[in-house]
């Protein structure tokens, strides 16, 4: 009698089936990270290596001169302050308004609730570039051109629909019985939401905050289009274009400035990354 061969273990077969997926994931990560790697290494290369016709993946020499030139450029501290002020103001304003709107949609029953959410989805799907001319005309006619509050309101408008949609999903996923029990114990409706539901919204608040921060921090078109004359009102994305002159582009300083510009968004993402995936998934499927 022939002895049956033992079946191969499941772990190697499972690893073999996952090999193409792992290879595709690794390839995607390399493609996405290579421009960032090239930006950082270019910022650290001497100017002679940057202008060389024989580029190297690993620089042979390192220098911090480009970072010193970027930090020492005119208006660096001022533009940094402008970007931080506009970004944080827009994110906080969007969270405050969206929290009330999301609570009204998720907890209350009123005529036009579905139409309101439809309008929010339409606003979310509208391309931002299509609104440049109307916003410019409104800002010009109201005397709001060349002002940072105008830019703050624009970023608030851009991030508000997404924030409402995500927070609505989170609030709808919280059992209303928790708030009702708090009201039975003597809390008002606002106090019950603040003490019971609001602490449970932390993942959603972090996810929407990260989205709003990155969107407002990286935005260039409106900052360049609405802040045209006032040099002191410009933000960091517009400041990056200051390294271009009639003699060409200072690529070393430009890459160093881009690296410095990307650091705050990277730090915020690393601080909130544990809550972002869960927040986006939960807010998208609940309610």
Q: What is the pLDDT of residues 156-186, one digit of tens each?
A: 998 998 889 888 888 888 888 888 888 888 8
| 118 pLDDT higher than 60 | yes
pLDDT value for 3: 53
Coil, strand or helix at 287:
coil
pLDDT higher than threshold 70 for residue 257: yes
**Per DSSP, what are the bridge partners of residue 225?**
none
**Percent composition of the chain: helix, strand, coil (DSSP 3-state, to 5):** 75, 0, 20
Q: Are 168 and 150 in contact (CB under 8 A)?
A: no
Question: What integer is the mean pLDDT of 135-151?
Answer: 87
Does residue 151 carry a pLDDT above 60?
A: yes
Q: Distance (Å, rounded) from C-alpha 219 to C-alpha 227? A: 13
For residue 269, CA distances in Å to 148, 170, 261 come to 25, 20, 14
Element (H, E) at 93: helix 76-107
pLDDT of residue 283: 46
Check pLDDT > 80 for residue 286.
no
Convert the pLDDT of each residue in 13-60 to its tens digit: 777 778 888 888 889 989 988 999 989 998 888 888 888 777 777 877
Per-residue pLDDT, 245: 57
Q: Provide the mean pLDDT of the chain.
A: 82
Each residue of 128-138: pLDDT tens digit? Answer: 878 888 888 88
| CA dist., res. 156 & res. 152, Å (int) | 6
Cα–Cα dist 35/257, whole Å: 15
């Amino acid at each position: 009698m022939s002895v049956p061969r033992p079946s191969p273990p499941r772990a190697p077969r499972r690893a073999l089936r996952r090999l193409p997926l792992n290879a595709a994931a690794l390839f995607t990560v390399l493609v996405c990270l290579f421009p960032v790697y090239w930006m950082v290494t270019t910022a650290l290369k001497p100017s002679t290596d940057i202008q060389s016709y024989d580029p190297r993946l690993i620089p042979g020499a390192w220098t911090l001169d480009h970072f010193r030139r970027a930090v020492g450029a005119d208006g660096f501290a001022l533009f940094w302050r402008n970007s931080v002020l506009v970004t944080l103001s827009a994110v906080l304003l969007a969270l405050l308004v969206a929290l009330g709107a999301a609570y009204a949609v998720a907890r209350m029953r009123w005529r036009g609730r579905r139409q309101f959410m439809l309008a929010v989805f339409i606003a979310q799907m509208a391309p931002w570039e299509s609104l440049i001319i109307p916003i410019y005309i409104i800002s010009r006619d109201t005397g709001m051109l060349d002002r940072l509050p105008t830019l703050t309101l624009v970023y608030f408008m851009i991030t508000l629909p997404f924030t409402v949609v995500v927070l609505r999903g989170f609030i709808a996923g919280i059992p209303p019985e928790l708030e009702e029990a708090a009201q039975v114990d003597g809390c008002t409706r606002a106090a019950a939401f603040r003490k019971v539901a609001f602490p449970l919204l932390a993942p959603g608040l972090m996810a929407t905050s990260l989205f709003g921060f990155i969107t407002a921090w990286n935005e260039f078109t409106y900052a360049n289009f609405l802040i045209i004359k006032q040099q002191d009102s410009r933000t960091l994305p517009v400041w990056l274009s200051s390294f271009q002159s009639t003699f060409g582009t200072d690529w070393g300083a430009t890459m160093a400035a881009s690296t410095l510009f990307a650091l705050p968004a990277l730090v915020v993402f690393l601080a909130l990354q544990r809550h972002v995936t869960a927040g986006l998934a939960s807010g998208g499927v609940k309610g």
